[in-house]
Amino acid sequence: MASTYSDITKKALWKENPVIRQILGICSALAVTNLVANTLVMGIGVMLTTAFSCLTVSLLRNIIPVRVRMMVQTLIIASYVILVDIVLKAYFPDMSRALGPYVGLIITNCIIMGRCEAFAQSNPPLLSFYDGLMSGLGYTLVLTTIAIVRELLGFGTILGYEILGDWWTPWTVMVMAPSAFFVLAVIIWIVKSVTEKKDAPVKQSAKQEVQVSGD
Partner 1 sequence: MKDKGWFNIVFMFICTAFFTGILSGAYVFTRPQIQANARLNEIRAQLNALQIELPAGMSSIALEAFYDQNIKEVKKDDVTLFQYETEEGAVQNLLIFEGAALWGDIVGVIALDEDFKTVIGMDIIKQNETPGLGGRIAEDWFKEQFRGIKLYEDGEPLRYASPGKEGQLDAVTGATATSNALLSVINESIKELRAKTGGGN
Beta carbons of 158 and 41 less than 8 angstroms apart: no
Total number of residues that touch partner 1 (CB under 8 A) = 33
Binding residues for partner 1 restricted to 39-78, rule: CB under 8 A: 63-68, 71-72, 75-76
Tell me if 101 contacts partner 1 by CB under 8 A. Answer: yes
Is the Cβ of residue 104 or residue 214 nearer to partner 1 in the bound state? 104
Instruction: Dihedral sign for Cα 145, 151, 157, 163, please.
Output: positive
CB neighbourhood size of 56 (10 A): 23
We find the least distance from the C-beta atom of residue 186 to partner 1, in angstroms, to be: 20
* Residue span binding partner 1 (CB under 8 A) among the ranges 8-16, 27-35, 46-54, 119-127: 27-35
CA angle 82, 101, 40 (to 5 degrees): 85
Q: Which is nearer to partner 1, 86 or 202 (CB)?
A: 86
DSSP class of residue 19 equals T
* Other C-beta atoms lying within 10 Å of the C-beta of residue 62: 6
Length of the chain: 215
Given 82, 118, 188, 191, the residue binding partner 1 (CB under 8 A): 82
Burial class (CB in 10 A: 0-12, 13-18, 19+), 31: middle
Residue type, 88: L
* CB of residue 179 to partner 1, shortest distance in Å: 11
Stretch binding partner 1 (CB under 8 A), from 3-11, 92-100, 106-114, 185-193:
92-100
The 170-199 site mask, x for binding partner 1 (CB under 8 A), equals --x--xx-----------------------
Distance CA 129, CA 57 (A): 10
The phi-psi region of residue 17 (left if phi > 0; otherwise alpha if psi is between -120 and 50; otherwise beta) is beta
34 or 109: whose CB is closer to partner 1? 34
Is residue 91 within the footprint of partner 1 (CB under 8 A)? yes
Residue ranges that bind partner 1, judged by CB under 8 A: 32, 34-35, 38, 63-68, 71-72, 75-76, 79, 82-83, 86-87, 89-91, 93, 97-101, 154-155, 172, 175-176
